[in-house]
Amino acid sequence: MLIAYLLFVSTLLYEAVICNVKKSCHKKCDCLGTYVDCSKTMINTFPEALPPWMETLDLNLNKIDGTLTIDTSSYLHLTTLKLTKNSISSFPIFVNKTKINHLNLAHNKIEKLEALENLPNLKTLDMNKNKLVFLDDHSFPQSTHLKILNLNNNLITNLTANCLDTLINLVELKISHNKLNNLPGGLFKKLKNLEFLDLSRNHITVIHGLLFMDLGNLKTIILRQNQIEDLQDGSFFGLINLQSLHLEDNNLSKISKGWLYGLNSLVYLNISYNRIDQIKSGWEYCAELEELDLSYNKLQYIEKSNLENLRKLQKLHLNNNRLSFIEEGSFNNTPMLRILQMDHNYLSWLIEDAKETFIGLRNLKKLSLANNKILFIKKEAFSGLDNLDELNLLQNNVLEIQDEAFKYMPNLEYLYLNSSSLVCDCSMSWLKQPNIFESLPFDYINAFCGFPEKNKGKNLKEISLTDFSCLENSPKPTIIFHPESKMVLERQNITLKCGVNSSSTEKINFVWKKDNHDLELISTNHYSSFEFNGMTQFSVLNLYNISMSQSGKYQCVASNEFGITYSNRSVLSVVVYPFFAKVPGNSSVKTGLTARLECAANGYPVPQISWQKDGGTDFPAAQERRMRVARDDVFLIVDVKLVDMGIYSCTAKNVAGMIAANATLNVLEPPWFKSEMSNKQVRVGEEVVLECLSYGYPKPKIKWIKDGVSLTLSNRHFFTAENQLLVIMEANTDDSGTYQCEITNSLGVNSQKVDVLVMPLYQSLIHEYTLGLVVIAIILCIIIISSIWVLFVYKAKRPSPNLINNADNKSLDSSNSKDSGTGESTKRSQEQLFNECSNAGQKLNNNLGNLSPEINSPLLTHASVILGENSVKYKHSKTATLPVQLPTTEPHETVEDQIKCIKTSEKPCSIPALLPNETQDSPPIVQQSCSHVNLHEQTVDPL
């Protein structure tokens, strides 16, 4: 009973609520809780009597037109208003501020955005398919909450640079299918939060650099179906988070790194339906790219570098291009590729003749090569496709498949193949081997035989293994004469010949390829001969006035209805004889400066430049590392010397030949002397020779001057060796004087002087005798001193107790012994030694004085003698008491300062008695023995 009662009460309450709702709802609308549906009711104004708790009002597909005024004061909960597909001509006027978040005005006739002041909470505004013409700076006043704005399918032709500045929270902006032809700079400067931008189907022709630089959060941008011809450098700079870029259906002709710069997060790039005919490197800025669509363009070839830095690419669409060449190794740069679409191209050679094209695609799952005019499948065509699941070869009229052509695809599940011209002879019998036939997915193969006649029209699956028999004379073409590789000079004529044998009399179709591209508009000759068990047909390719662009690999492709064959590739090398672009010129350089040698040559291959000096390998500047390379065509010789002067030969050489050019380098040098001239002293009647060895370039002119007056030739004066030697015959006293040698060239003047003394006869004799006596005395002194030291060393090694000095009670050794000489007493006082030295010096002075009054010896008391191991040096002194500095190496003294005894306050010298064979009148031989002298530290200079 209680349950029944509760049910009854609930029913009454529900009916009461329903009745209340019906009383509050417009009669043509359906009130479904907070959702009020007034669509398709043919009303033409804003309805009244709606429930106040309404949140969503749907007024789609009605007859509302003109200007719509809306009072929402009674509907405080209204957040969504739908007014699509009416005939509203101006933006609705909201009488008071509303809480509407979502406003849909699509499919109306509104021409201008205005009166948004009372929509402060608006987040979504849909203006799709209206008649908006422009947006100005006042279109969105204070619309700070708007996140989604749809302006698709309008007539907008112009946007002012600041029209979007108030939309700082906008996340999605759609302005597709309008008439925009220009996007002003700074248009998006305030849209820091924008993530989706659709500008497709406009008339945009150029994307200027830095246009999107402020859209750091943008993830998707759609620019398809515009008329974009140029993407300037930095067009997408700043889009650091962009993941998807749509540029399909424009007029782009190239891909370059300039406009790819900055797309570091790009995952999807679609450039299909453009006019791109080449791909340049630049993918280093798109290292995260996973899918690249280049279909429906005009690509003719792909080089190895075109796909570099796409290590994460998984899908590549190259279908519907004009591809005829893909360089070997191109796919090594895309190891993660899973889907490769190459339908509708000209890539037959890729399967018929190329090797290892797909090496590197270990992860490829799907490969599509439909409609590529493939006639022959080579054995190694699919090597590297270890994990391939699906292979599409539809619309290729395949004639032959080589043995084991599918063994490189062990995981193949779907093989799409249709052909009606298979040559079902013994070359195809491998297909019927049980282990191969059973593993092939024949559910997707629709292949029929076209030859031999007994198998013609039969499905491959219907023919038994025995039906694949060999023919004695095969009609399939076979290359018997391959074109030869050649090297030719530019502008010559050349022919390449190809011969093909076949048992069929059908005319063979020849195609010549260069670098795997079909040659068009070429001159060829064809002729036939019967040999080699059939008919041999030849094709001769004629190349006239050959140029560098014709270098490459040439190949002959021969086919008939029974098969196709490829010749070897012949390499045609077009070389250009070297020719000078810069010819070295003569130059003159002063010593110490830098010489410049320029030489450049063109040709093909690029000529090697080499230098020679004077026709040989002796190159002082190179040996002394004074050779520098400023540029490839400029050589420098630094710190130029005279040895660098000569003829330099520049040689340019390549395989075509060699050329050479010469240039003379003159090294200019101011005049200088090799050595200084020395004073001359001769006797009357002798000859005088003065040397003036000069150098410089240009060669200096030599002039001789005596006492300020120029010398001229006479019967006694001669100039020889190009005036470098002055010879005076039978000199007399008048020839004494100062002689000057003056040398001159264009760089300066230099000179040096020398004194010449011509002595009378009597004076020269005195001089000679005096000098002879002095030399004899010196030699004798040296001999005696050496003997004393030998005796002294001997005694020092054999000490005697008699050497003990009783006076000071000290023992003497070799280091303090005062004994020297061979006199009567072994101990002499310093006074005696001094006197003996003085007497010996006085006698020697007297004897010398008798020979010549002009030669005077200094007194012994005013000099000191410095001894060495083999020398005695005399040193004049103003004071007799100055100590001797022992031992010291002195410069050579004059003759008058030699052969004297040393006087010292510490260690006296001893003067020995005259030897037995000496007389009192002969000069004494002076000796000295100083006990403290270290003989090993002394230097000996014979005087």
pLDDT digits (tens, 9 = 90+) for 889-905: 344 444 344 333 333 33
* Number of CB atoms found within 10 A of residue 716's CB: 14
User: Which tokens sit at 480?
Assistant: 């018997």
- Tell me how far apart the alpha carbons of residues 757 and 728 are, in angstroms, rounded to a whole number: 12
Note the pLDDT of residue 391. 94
Note the pLDDT of residue 424. 87
Q: Is 394 exposed, middle or buried (0-12, 13-18, 19+ CB in 10 A)?
A: middle
pLDDT of 29 over the 50 cut: yes
Q: Confirm if 565 and 559 have CB atoms less than 8 A apart.
A: yes
Q: pLDDT band at residue 764, thresholds of 50, 70 and 90?
A: low
CB-facing half-sphere around the CA of 867: CA atoms within 13 A: 26
- Tell me how far apart the alpha carbons of residues 163 and 181 are, in angstroms, rounded to a whole number: 16
- Tell me how far apart the alpha carbons of residues 741 and 749 are, in angstroms, rounded to a whole number: 11
- Tell me how far apart the alpha carbons of residues 509 and 563 are, in angstroms, rounded to a whole number: 11
- Residue carrying the six token digits 């799907």: 366
Note the pLDDT of residue 276. 94
Q: Confirm if 350 and 324 have CB atoms less than 8 A apart.
A: no
Which residue intervals of 107-261 are DSSP H helices?
257-260
* Number of CB atoms found within 10 A of residue 199's CB: 23
User: How far does CA 505 lie from the centroid of its chain?
Assistant: 59
> What's this model's pTM, rounded to 2 decimal places?
0.62
Model confidence over 602-659: pLDDT tens digits?
998 899 988 888 888 778 888 888 888 877 788 889 998 888 889 999 999 998 899 9
Model confidence over 786-840: pLDDT tens digits?
888 888 777 776 554 443 344 344 333 333 333 333 333 334 444 444 444 444 4
Note the pLDDT of residue 2. 57
Q: Say which residues have a Cβ less than 8 Å from residue 51's Cβ, sequence separation at least 6.
A: 21, 24, 25, 31, 36
- Tell me how far apart the alpha carbons of residues 147 and 195 are, in angstroms, rounded to a whole number: 10
Burial call 528-564: b when 16+ CB within 10 Å, e when fewer:
eeeeeebbbbbbbbebeebeeebbbebbbbbbbbbbb
Distances (CA, A) of 833 to 781, 785, 830, 930: 17, 16, 5, 12
Q: Confirm if 834 and 908 have CB atoms less than 8 A apart.
A: yes
User: How far does CA 293 lie from the centroid of its chain?
Assistant: 33
Residue range 833-851: mean pLDDT, rounded: 43
pLDDT of 918 over the 70 cut: no
Note the pLDDT of residue 265. 95
Q: Say which residues have a Cβ less than 8 Å from residue 907's Cβ, sequence separation at least 6.
A: 818, 930, 931, 932
Distances (CA, A) of 937 to 171, 176, 886, 887, 890: 99, 106, 10, 7, 14
Using DSSP, state whether 537 is helix, strand or coil: strand
pLDDT of 923 over the 50 cut: no
What region, left, alpha or beta, does residue 515 occupy, with left being phi > 0 and alpha being psi -120 to 50 degrees? left
Which residue intervals of 798-926 are DSSP H helices?
830-851
Q: Is the peptide bond before 605 cis (omega within 30 degrees of 0)?
A: yes
Note the pLDDT of residue 247. 96
Q: Is the dihedral of CA 537, 543, 549, 551 positive or negative?
A: positive
Which of 247, 236, 250 is CA-nearest to residue 286?
236
Model confidence over 431-483: pLDDT tens digits?
888 777 777 777 788 888 888 888 888 888 888 888 888 877 778 888 889 99
Which of 141, 96, 76, 119 is CA-nearest to residue 104?
119
Using DSSP, state whether 848 is helix, strand or coil: helix
pLDDT of 559 over the 70 cut: yes
Pairing of β 376-377 and β 400-401? parallel
**CA-based R_g, the chain, Å:** 58
State the chain's mean pLDDT as an integer.
80
Using DSSP, state whether 168 is helix, strand or coil: coil
Q: Confirm if 388 and 358 have CB atoms less than 8 A apart.
A: no
Using DSSP, state whether 322 is helix, strand or coil: coil
Burial call 855-876: b when 16+ CB within 10 Å, e when fewer:
bebbebeebbbbbbbebbbbbe
Q: Most confidently modeled of 70-74, 265-269, 732-736? A: 265-269
- Kindly report which listed range (725-734, 835-844, 920-929) carries the lowest average pLDDT score: 920-929
Q: pLDDT band at residue 336, thresholds of 50, 70 and 90?
A: very high
Note the pLDDT of residue 857. 34
Q: Is the dihedral of CA 695, 700, 704, 705 positive or negative?
A: negative
| Percent share of the chain, pLDDT over 90 | 36
What HEC string does 617-645 produce? CCCHHHHCCCEEEEECCEEEECCCCHHHC
Q: Say which residues have a Cβ less than 8 Å from residue 628's Cβ, sequence separation at least 6.
A: 635, 636, 637, 638
- Tell me how far apart the alpha carbons of residues 524 and 520 are, in angstroms, rounded to a whole number: 11
If one compares 884 and 589, the residue with the highest pLDDT of the two is: 589
Model confidence over 94-117: pLDDT tens digits?
999 999 999 999 999 999 998 888
- Tell me how far apart the alpha carbons of residues 246 and 214 are, in angstroms, rounded to a whole number: 19
Which of 876, 865, 885 is CA-nearest to residue 782?
865
Model confidence over 150-189: pLDDT tens digits?
999 999 999 999 999 999 999 999 999 999 998 999 999 9
Model confidence over 655-699: pLDDT tens digits?
889 999 999 998 888 888 878 888 888 888 888 888 888 888 888
Q: pLDDT band at residue 938, thresholds of 50, 70 and 90?
A: very low
What region, left, alpha or beta, does residue 394 occupy, with left being phi > 0 and alpha being psi -120 to 50 degrees? beta
Long-range contacts of 124-129 (CB under 8 A, 24+ apart): 124/148, 124/149, 125/149, 125/150, 126/84, 126/150, 127/151, 127/154, 128/152, 128/153, 128/154, 128/174, 129/153, 129/154
Longest dimension (CA), the chain: 180
